[in-house]
Structure formats: structure tokens, C-alpha cells
């Protein structure tokens, strides 16, 4: 049996760092949404030994060796927790830039767990699969849900939210940024608080309600990311100057930036114009859900 799943890019519309925990992880409060038109693709062929087979797509070379791939890590974490689990051979098409602040590897892991759920007649929110997601990586639990949510703690607390779809342009200079280095630049000691203000939660009111929540938030990783990679600031400025752009910001630990628009038509117009302003960049108009 061949099963298929999309692994949409994760976009941190806000990312508040509240401090650093005693265990070394940073305490986060983030509004997360997922891109409709920017996604990896994953298949699972059941009845075969667990493996990651073909990896193709424009970013296949950067997907990393099998031992580091989060698809296999997630499958093994599920296997450790669920006796008699049906697994198989995964194949991956890598369309999301790597080390880009879009959670590509985590999205792939979340999709792998959803495929495992389908193959075994399990609900995706089965506590054992959720536990496997948390064990795989900090962003995997929210990628298992793969819908707009508030992500808190190191990522283990996920609360879906009702957020109107928002049109966006995603832009990446194809220059990877190290998540570890960006967080380290905050220079927080274990147990040290950074900022007690939580991230705003979207209110009712359609697109304006969603945009209002995002506008009241921020991304605390943006300043150190800009220091490491000036192209981040260039992208934010270019998006912010685009016709119809309501807000421009960085996603995750960078280097992807996004601009938010009233509708997808405006986002597509902006993306076409940005192709000239940002030559060589990866650009995707999309809807964030």
C-alpha cells in the first residue's frame, strides 16, 4: 500500500523568547501557521523494511544523511512506543529550503507520523504519536498538527487556534542560518528570563483579526539573525516596501522572511515584482492557514 502526505512549511508569525529553561532549552511563545503552496511531499510504502528511499527535489542534496533525517527518527520514536507498528519505506521530495526557519525537517517528521497513523488505523493525536513527535524535535509536535496553533515551551505545548487564512509571500536568500548559533547569540544563561510578554493570540475578525495579532507580536530572533546574515534585513525591507504588504518579518531563526497581504492576488503580484528586486531568492506566494 502506498500512502502520500504533504509536509507544509511552518511559518512562525510571531516568536517570543521568554527565557532559557534549566534544561537548556529556550522557553518560547509563538503563533505558527502553515503554508498552502510551499511543502515537501512524503510517501510511505508499507510492507517493506523501515528505510528512507529516494530523496529528490530541488533541496534534496541538503536533506542530510539517513542517520540525521527526522523522518526516520520520528518513525523509530513511534516504533519504540507502539508495539507491532506497521512501517515501511519512505520517499521524500524536498521542496522547502533547508536551515531556513521554515521547519522543513520537522514538517517531514510530522508528515511521517501522520502516514504511520493512517497505515495503522490510529488517530494523528494518539498520545503515543504525540510523545514520539516531542522526542523527535522541538517543532515536530506542531508539525504533526499542521494547522495554525500557539506553540509554547520548547515546542511541546501546542494549542490549535481559529485563525483566518492569510495571504503571504515567503522569501529566502538561499543562505542557510544555524538555529543553534542564532539562539546562542541571545546569550541567555540557564534559568534566565528574557521577556515575560506572551505572544498575542488571534482574535475573531477575519484577516484583520489575524493581522492584528501578528502586528502586536515580534520575532526575538530577528536581530541576531540579521547580524549573522544581512540578507534577512534586505528581504524584510523589500517585502515591506511591496505594494499591498501589511507587515514583513522573519520566520523562525531565519533566513526566510515573509510579507502578509490582504489576498492571494496581491501576494502573487508582489512575488512577481520581488523576483526583480531579489534576484536569486526563493520566492513563494501562498496562503498561511
List binding-site positions.
Answer: 97-107
The DSSP H or E segment spanning 75 is: helix 70-81
Give DSSP secondary structure letters for 119-156. HTT--TT-HHHHHHHHHH-TTHHHHHH-SSEEEEETTT
124/130 Cα distance (integer angstroms) = 8
Q: Any residues with CB less than 8 A from the CB of 87 and at least 6 apart, and which?
A: 44, 46, 50, 75, 79, 116, 119
CB atoms within 10 A of CB 153: 17
Beta bridge partners of 27: 19
Q: Are 219 and 249 in contact (CB under 8 A)?
A: yes
Q: Any residues with CB less than 8 A from the CB of 151 and at least 6 apart, and which?
A: 28, 29, 30, 31, 32, 139, 141, 142, 157, 158
- The active-site residue, picked from 10, 29, 73, 108, is 10
* Bind-site residues for ATP: 97-107
What's the distance, CA 124 to chain centroid?
18
197/85 Cα distance (integer angstroms) = 42
- The active-site residue, picked from 40, 108, 139, 220, is 139
Q: Any residues with CB less than 8 A from the CB of 19 and at least 6 apart, and which?
A: 26, 27, 188, 191, 192, 193, 194, 195
Is 10 annotated in the active site? yes
Pairing of strands 26-46, 2-12: antiparallel
Residue among 8, 263, 279 at smallest CA distance from 143: 8
Is 195 annotated in the active site? no
Please list the active-site residues.
Answer: 10, 139
Amino acid at each position: 500500500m502506498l500512502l502520500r502526505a504533504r509536509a507544509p512549511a511552518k511559518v512562525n508569525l510571531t516568536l517570543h523568547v521568554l527565557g532559557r529553561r534549566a534544561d537548556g532549552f529556550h522557553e518560547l511563545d509563538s503563533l505558527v501557521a502553515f503554508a498552502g503552496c510551499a511543502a515537501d511531499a512524503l510517501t510511505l510504502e508499507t510492507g517493506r523494511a523501515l528505510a528512507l528511499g529516494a530523496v529528490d527535489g530541488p533541496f534534496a542534496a541538503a536533506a542530510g544523511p539517513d542517520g540525521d533525517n527526522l523522518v526516520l527518527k520520528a518513525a523509530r520514536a513511534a516504533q519504540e512506543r507502539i508495539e507491532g507498528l506497521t512501517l515501511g519505506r519512505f520517499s521524500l521530495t524536498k521542496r522547502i529550503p533547508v536551515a531556513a526557519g521554515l521547519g522543513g525537517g520537522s514538517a517531514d517528521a510530522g508528515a511521517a507520523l501522520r502516514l504511520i497513523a493512517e497505515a495503522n488505523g490510529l488517530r494523528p493525536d494518539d498520545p503515543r504519536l504525540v510523545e514520539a513527535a516531542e522526542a523527535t524535535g522541538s517543532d515536530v509536535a506542531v508539525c504533526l498538527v499542521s494547522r495554525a496553533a500557539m506553540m509554547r515551551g520548547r515546542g511541546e505545548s501546542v494549542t490549535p487556534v481559529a485563525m483566518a487564512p492569510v495571504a503571504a509571500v515567503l522569501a529566502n536568500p538561499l543562505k542557510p542560518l544555524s538555529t543553534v548559533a542564532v539562539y546562542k547569540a541571545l546569550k541567555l544563561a540557564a534559568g534566565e528570563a528574557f521577556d515575560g510578554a506572551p505572544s498575542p493570540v488571534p482574535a475573531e475578525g477575519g484577516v484583520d483579526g489575524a493581522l492584528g495579532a501578528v502586528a502586536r507580536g515580534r520575532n526575538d530572533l530577528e536581530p541576531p539573525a540579521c547580524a549573522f546574515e544581512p540578507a534577512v534585513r534586505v528581504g524584510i525591507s523589500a517585502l515591506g516596501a511591496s505594494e499591498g504588504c501589511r507587515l514583513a518579518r522573519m520566520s523562525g531563526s531565519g533566513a526566510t522572511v515573509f510579507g502578509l497581504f490582504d489576498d492571494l492576488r496581491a501576494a502573487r503580484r508582489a512575488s512577481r515584482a520581488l523576483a526583480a528586486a531579489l534576484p536569486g531568492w526563493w520566492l513563494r506566494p501562498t496562503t498561511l492557514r
